[in-house]
Amino acid sequence: MRSTSMGRLVALASMAVLLAGGVSAGSAQARSAVPARYPGGLVTYAIEFSNPQEKDDNDLPEPYGRVYVTDGDLRETTLWEHPDLDINTPTVPRYPESGFTHRYADHAISEVCAYVGEDDTGINADDVLAEGCEPFHGPGAYTVPGPDGAVTVTVYHIG
């Protein structure tokens, strides 16, 4: 009778160790799903707006909306923003027109986000170039897609 009790105790201890290992692995997986935060600072970047179906006079997009970096919680830094001015929305295939520009993010960065439409006043309904966020991992190109195009934010340097 004593060996049966000892066997049960060993089995129970083994199961506890296995469960503890499973909980630890599960916690590690849950932590890795949370986006990493990259330190903020002076962000050097450029933005390209793509609308492959644009068919007006110059075949270039007239984007409006907002592109920003965020810490994933409450803090955001706008990289580009423009209102929809209907027929007066300017043609902007790239921002800035050449080279790159800077913005200071006084917070950690975990995502690059773009919510950008494209004005098609008088032709048809406006297009959606980008809607969403991409996880930030440091300098590089981040393409945020939409149903009608994409916005690519190239981050050259932070610091």
Residue ranges per domain, the chain?
Answer: 1-34, 41-158
pTM of this structure: 0.76
CA distance 27 to 93: 44
Region 80-84 average pLDDT: 96
Kindly report, residue by residue over 28-66, the tens digit of the pLDDT: 344 445 567 889 999 999 999 999 888 766 778 999 999
> Comparing C-alpha atoms, which of 45, 6, 1, 44 is closest to residue 159?
44
Kindly report, residue by residue over 110-128, the tens digit of the pLDDT: 999 999 999 987 667 899 9
Q: Decide yes or no: CATH 2.60.40 for domain 41-158.
A: yes
